[in-house]
Amino acid sequence: MSDFFYGEQANLFSFYRLPKALFTSRRFEDVSVEAKVLYGFLLDRMGLSAKNGWKDEEGRVYIIFTVESIMEHLGCSNKKAVGLLRELEEKAGLIERRRQGLGRPSLIYVKNFIEAPEERFKR
């Protein structure tokens, strides 16, 4: 057995962080586990977007994470990926999407789940 990591093995200990509050707070109890995992993926992308300077005119960081990428990451159908985005946006209030038009992907604003007002979360 080798003591070193080679090639893709280095990714074995790369993790997605999932905020504990998504699983312990009552306001997220009606949000599916799959949507919570997707939110973790979106949070992960925030660091890269900030590093790349992807900010709007108000200084808010946005990400681009296409439905196709969601399908690939979660191993799900188009319908499921679209539904999970809708759940995060409309039911949980954890993201906001801004359409760009002309076949370009929507910009996704990942919202701060801690500071979001309670009434934003729908039951």
How far apart CA 26 and CA 32 sit, in angstroms, is 13
Encode the chain (123 residues) as per-residue pLDDT tens digits.
567 777 777 777 778 889 999 999 998 999 999 999 999 999 999 999 999 999 999 999 999 999 999 999 999 999 999 999 999 999 999 999 999 988 899 999 999 988 655 554 444
Burial 97-113 (b: 16+ CB within 10 A, else e): eeeeeeeeebbbbbbeb
Going from the C-alpha of 17 to that of each of 14, 105, 117, the distances in angstroms are 10, 25, 22
Class of domain 17-113: mainly alpha
pTM, two decimal places: 0.83
- Which pLDDT score, from 0 to 100, does residue 55 have? 95
Task: State residue 104's pLDDT score.
Answer: 92
The label of the residue with tokens 């039951």 reads 123
Q: Please report how the helices 33-51 and 78-86 are oriented relative to each other, as an axis angle in degrees rounded to 10.
A: 80
- Give the start-to-end residue ranges of the domains of the chain: 17-113
